[in-house]
Chain A
Amino acid sequence: MKGTNLGEFQELVLLTIGSLHPEAYGVAIKEEIYAHTNRKVTLSTVHAALNRLEKKGLVKSDLGEATNIRGGKRKRNFTITAFGIKMLSEAKRQRESLWDSIPDIVFQVNLG
């Protein structure tokens, strides 16, 4: 497995999947990312990331019900796996510990 660390975009997608639960699928994720971060990503980028995440075992997917809106095609809904949650919280912990280790002087200097 290619490292246990999450890439920045992958983390973003993973978080979005969590926030959209249980209706996290390609287009919705793309829109949600735009809404939260104002980043315009293409569908294919999202899909590629989802594919990678699924391969790493961080998310799993199920085919939903067919609707007429999508030309009769079913949605693939993504949910975070336990391993995904673990990875996410690990990333969060790493960041927080780093945040915590920044001396206060840094903030003061830059703000000043």
Chain B
Amino acid sequence: MKSNKTHTPPKWAERLLEWYCRANVLEDLQGDLHEFFDRNLEEKGPFRARLNFVLDVFKFMRPYTIKKLEIFNNITPFIMFKNYFKTSVRSIARNKLFSAINVIGLAISMSVCLLMISFLSELFSYDKFHPNADRMYRLMTTNQFLERDPSEFASTSILAGKRLQEEVPGIEASVIMNNGFGGDAKIGDKTIPIGGLWATQDFFGVFPAFQLLQGNPETALAEPYSVVLTEEAATKLYGDDEAMGQTIKLGKEDIYTVTGIIKKPPHNSHFTFESLGSMITYENERKETPDDTYWIGWNNIWSNYVYVLLNENTSIAQVSASMDKIVAEENAKDDRVKNYISFQPLLSIMPGKDLSNNIGKGMDTRILWLLSGLTFIVMLSAGFNYTNLSIARSLRRAKEVGVRKVVGARRKQIFSQFMTEAILISLISLIFAVFLFYVIKPEFLNLDGEIQSAARLLTTPSLFAYFIIFTVLIGSMAGFFPAIFLSKLQAVKVLKDAGSTRLFKKVNMRKVLIVVQFTLSLAFIISATIAFRQYKYSLAFDLGFKTENILNVRLQGNDVNTVASAFEKIPEIAEISRSMMIPSVGSTYGNTIKYEDPLDSATMYYNTIDENYIPLLKHELIAGSNFESRPEQEKEEFIIVNEQLLKRFDIGTPEEAIGKKIQINRNGDKVSIRGVVRDFYYSTVDREIKSFGFRYRPGQYQYLNLKVSTTDVIGTMSKLESAWTEVDDVHEFNAMFYDERIEQAYSEFSVMFTIIGFLAFITISIAALGLLGMAVYTAETRLKEISIRKVLGATEGSLIKLLTRGFMWLLIISSLIAVPATYFLFDSVVLAESVNRISIGIVELSSGVIVIFAIGFLMIGSQTWKAAKSNPAETLRSE
């Protein structure tokens, strides 16, 4: 028997035997084969012994040894399931603290995931109701001015649509739409505002899913002055009366006839409308002024939308190849502006690319990725807790595993037992998670207008099916490692060295998981701090003018002077000025301007104002003078510009600039500089200040800016509202304080801050719970050690230090990873393009670290302190 330690029978042959052999004869056969192998090894050498072994394994394949297709074997797990379930429930009930930590952590993070699941499943259901959605495309335009960065639009030109219809083969149906339809509809003496789209005749050919309830889909939009109303719009206009065939007065006293009633577009359509006007009307109106052909120009890509339905056997490549020829032809006519057209599949519109001039809703896919990523991190954190605590606790379960194995459990069975337990825990968590889901759902929807318009988050049965599948998945993933670990334990070892911690010495994964968890938590806290600081910074930023107590009122088409004189009577209104837009809240209007060199042009952002605007908003005039009141309809003569514009064209000092002439637009009039204002932020503060001008063009006003001096805001508002109603009883009074508008403009930051802050809070709570669990476990398992140390003279302080040290190291490692990583992320990625941004300093970075350390110390400290305080006599007595 000298060499049988090194020679063993071939593993594969043994596996084969185990595979085919019935359980009741297997052990005996294996034993005999092994014994015979050992004898052969002595007598005939290793090679013959192995050969014989293999031959014998094959010879043993006889009817009585081979397994039948035993159904009973496969039923065992189901029979055992009852037992697994029972032991799982008992173990969950016995370890209340661990179960609570796991359930709370999983429930919180799962509720966020449920929110994400319902959000995603709703977004991905968009436009799927169209029967031929896979053959439907939208024309998308990439607009490039000279060598500048191209920008992408969801809209295109009417010309592109027309040439496509006439020249490109393989198209079953196509529709051209324009979003300018609608206005104040007059029916008898009632005026009701109505919104809608112009659409060509074939609208229903492309979108048969927008069902016509009354009217003929082929002719409803064929004639000029035809309108198709949604059911809702029809009720709004006519009440319960029959709407078909009725007339509506719209726009300049045009009479439209209702030629169809359509079902309201479903919520998950990326564009919706109240009414459709026949596009031929729009075209005929434009044709009345034959000189102005801009509306059909190649460059008028701003508000027209073209959708096509391909023939079944046409590929999109063929269609875009023919379209590319048209594009090349048209682009050759203009040497500055190029418009490239591509086909966007209907199903990747929403969610899809971030395009300008969207027809309806839009949701950037990148935002979805970001949100899903963050949610995933939260879920990961809770999953880690389960894995960690289960492995830590497995010391107590090891004996159970040992006994089960002795009784005959196989590895697979132990594995499924612990998986059952994990899934059970996650299902319990699901119940709480669903409650939490209903709590956070409205909060999430109210975060952002874009989210609210895109999703309603209705809970459907299929959604609940997703929830349950997801939960089982989470349970299996969280339980996988503990189950592997526990099922691997060997019965003999576990039962022999009962209670020894040696078995678990090698498990470093726990530490790795804790480090990952805290790194993520830290990154979250730091991100939230930075986002919050940036938000506050942007709000408090000195824009270069004053916005306090200024109320902006939208005129909504009313005559500016009528409204102004109505408001003037209210004593709380100190001053009134008129303007075309409200700067510094995000949107801008631009024109091309030139100075002396006819080849050098630049974009000038502008606002049209009256003579009261600059004093009212306290813009600082550094040279020249303000506009003077002039009668309306006079030619534009003067402009007030900012300092950047002077720099851009090298006009010299502000004083020198007065009286110099600039040309607005290519063929526009020359205006002379009347004044220079100090630079201010006309867009958001994270964008650079460029050339800006105040223009004086009465008749262009859209807003009234009121300086309000009152202590009773609500009273003043109601006075204003009643004054408004006297002038216009159709539109609602639309007014908002300037400061509020600015706050809204930076809502991007506040949404980011809220989401990240919320997730940070969740991950920290979960990580803290996990740490608490680990601390309890450590203190419990080392209680005897602590007591002996204490008996031998250790002080409480030194004991706390001993127990805390290990955890604190993990936290330090986490900070060393998280702090530089987050700093880098924000410094060179997120805020890299912002002009006015906070500098990320010690305060932002260290606040998170301090919070984490405080929480960590509290969790671990409290447990170790409890352990250190315990009376050694109590703990050691029972030994």
A interface residue numbers (CB < 8 A to B): 25-27, 30, 42-44, 47-48, 51, 63, 69-71, 73-76
Q: Does B688 contact A (CB under 8 A)?
A: no
Q: Would A70 and B34 count as touching, CB distance under 8 A?
A: yes
Q: Would A75 and B29 count as touching, CB distance under 8 A?
A: no
| Alpha-carbon separation in the docked complex, A27 to B32 (Å) | 6
Contacts of A51 in B (CB 8 A): 25, 64
Q: Would A43 and B31 count as touching, CB distance under 8 A?
A: no
A8 to chain B, nearest CB (A): 20
Binary CB contact string for chain B from 63 to 85 against chain A (1 if under 8 A, 0 otherwise): 01100000000000000000000
B20 to chain A, nearest CB (A): 13
Q: Would A47 and B32 count as touching, CB distance under 8 A?
A: yes
Nearest 3 CB-CB pairings of A with B: A73-B31, A26-B32, A70-B31
Q: Does B273 contact A (CB under 8 A)?
A: no
Contacts of A71 in B (CB 8 A): 30-31, 34
| Alpha-carbon separation in the docked complex, A74 to B32 (Å) | 9
Given known contacts A43-B32, A44-B59, A47-B32, is B27 in contact with A27 (CB within 8 Å)?
Answer: no
B residues 1-31 touching A (CB-CB < 8 Å): 25, 27-31
Contacts of B32 in A (CB 8 A): 25-27, 43, 47, 70
| Alpha-carbon separation in the docked complex, A42 to B61 (Å) | 13
Q: Would B31 and A47 count as touching, CB distance under 8 A?
A: no
* Interface residues contributed by chain B, number (CB under 8 Å): 19
Closest partner residue, chain A, to B14 (CB atom): A71
Known: A70-B31, A74-B27. 4 other contacts (CB 8 A): A27-B35, A44-B60, A63-B27, A71-B31
Closest partner residue, chain A, to B59 (CB atom): A44
Q: Would A47 and B34 count as touching, CB distance under 8 A?
A: no
Please, could you name 8 A-B residue pairs with CB atoms under 8 Å apart, sorted by A?
A42-B59, A69-B35, A70-B34, A73-B27, A73-B28, A73-B30, A73-B34, A74-B31
B133 to chain A, nearest CB (A): 64
Q: Would B38 and A26 count as touching, CB distance under 8 A?
A: no
A24 to chain B, nearest CB (A): 12
A36 to chain B, nearest CB (A): 18
Contacts of A75 in B (CB 8 A): 28, 31
Q: Does B62 contact A (CB under 8 A)?
A: yes
Contacts of B65 in A (CB 8 A): 47
| Alpha-carbon separation in the docked complex, A20 to B323 (Å) | 95
Contacts of A25 in B (CB 8 A): 28, 32
Contacts of B64 in A (CB 8 A): 48, 51
Contacts of B30 in A (CB 8 A): 70-71, 73
Most chain B beta-carbon contacts within 10 A, residue among A30, A51, A73: A73
| Alpha-carbon separation in the docked complex, A69 to B1 (Å) | 10
Q: Does B255 contact A (CB under 8 A)?
A: no
Q: Does B33 contact A (CB under 8 A)?
A: yes
B18 to chain A, nearest CB (A): 12
Q: Does B758 contact A (CB under 8 A)?
A: no
Closest partner residue, chain B, to A64 (CB atom): B31
| Alpha-carbon separation in the docked complex, A44 to B55 (Å) | 10
| Alpha-carbon separation in the docked complex, A43 to B60 (Å) | 8
Q: Would B56 and A42 count as touching, CB distance under 8 A?
A: yes
Q: Does B39 contact A (CB under 8 A)?
A: yes
Contacts of B28 in A (CB 8 A): 25-26, 63, 73-76
Q: Does B36 contact A (CB under 8 A)?
A: yes
Closest partner residue, chain A, to B61 (CB atom): A44
A67 to chain B, nearest CB (A): 9
Closest partner residue, chain B, to A45 (CB atom): B59
Contacts of B31 in A (CB 8 A): 26, 70-71, 73-76
Most chain B beta-carbon contacts within 10 A, residue among A27, A42, A63: A27
Closest partner residue, chain B, to A31 (CB atom): B39
Q: Would B36 and A27 count as touching, CB distance under 8 A?
A: yes
| Alpha-carbon separation in the docked complex, A55 to B39 (Å) | 29
Contacts of A27 in B (CB 8 A): 32, 35-36, 39
| Alpha-carbon separation in the docked complex, A76 to B59 (Å) | 19
A19 to chain B, nearest CB (A): 19
Contacts of B59 in A (CB 8 A): 42-44
Q: Would B29 and A47 count as touching, CB distance under 8 A?
A: yes
Closest partner residue, chain B, to A52 (CB atom): B64
Contacts of B29 in A (CB 8 A): 26, 47
| Alpha-carbon separation in the docked complex, A51 to B29 (Å) | 12
| Alpha-carbon separation in the docked complex, A11 to B803 (Å) | 73
Most chain A beta-carbon contacts within 10 A, residue among B35, B39, B64: B35
Contacts of A48 in B (CB 8 A): 62, 64
Closest partner residue, chain A, to B62 (CB atom): A48
| Alpha-carbon separation in the docked complex, A48 to B60 (Å) | 8
B407 to chain A, nearest CB (A): 15
| Alpha-carbon separation in the docked complex, A26 to B59 (Å) | 15
B227 to chain A, nearest CB (A): 88
| Alpha-carbon separation in the docked complex, A47 to B17 (Å) | 15
Q: Would A44 and B36 count as touching, CB distance under 8 A?
A: no
Contacts of A43 in B (CB 8 A): 32-33, 36, 56, 59-60
Most chain B beta-carbon contacts within 10 A, residue among A47, A48, A63, A75: A47
B8 to chain A, nearest CB (A): 9
| Alpha-carbon separation in the docked complex, A73 to B39 (Å) | 16
Closest partner residue, chain B, to A67 (CB atom): B31
Closest partner residue, chain B, to A71 (CB atom): B34
Closest partner residue, chain B, to A75 (CB atom): B31
Given known contacts A51-B64, A73-B28, A74-B27, is B56 in contact with A44 (CB within 8 Å)?
Answer: yes
Contacts of A63 in B (CB 8 A): 27-28
Closest partner residue, chain B, to A74 (CB atom): B27
Binary CB contact string for chain B from 448 to 490 against chain A (1 if under 8 A, 0 otherwise): 0000000000000000000000000000000000000000000
| Alpha-carbon separation in the docked complex, A63 to B28 (Å) | 8
B32 to chain A, nearest CB (A): 4
Q: Would A47 and B60 count as touching, CB distance under 8 A?
A: yes
| Alpha-carbon separation in the docked complex, A51 to B63 (Å) | 11
Binary CB contact string for chain B from 283 to 318 against chain A (1 if under 8 A, 0 otherwise): 000000000000000000000000000000000000
Contacts of A42 in B (CB 8 A): 56, 59
B53 to chain A, nearest CB (A): 10
B161 to chain A, nearest CB (A): 81
Contacts of B56 in A (CB 8 A): 42-44
Closest partner residue, chain B, to A55 (CB atom): B64
Most chain A beta-carbon contacts within 10 A, residue among B28, B33, B60, B65: B28
B residues 42-68 touching A (CB-CB < 8 Å): 56, 59-60, 62, 64-65
| Alpha-carbon separation in the docked complex, A48 to B25 (Å) | 11
| Alpha-carbon separation in the docked complex, A21 to B426 (Å) | 58
Contacts of A47 in B (CB 8 A): 25, 29, 32, 60, 65
A12 to chain B, nearest CB (A): 18
| Alpha-carbon separation in the docked complex, A11 to B27 (Å) | 25
Contacts of A74 in B (CB 8 A): 27-28, 31
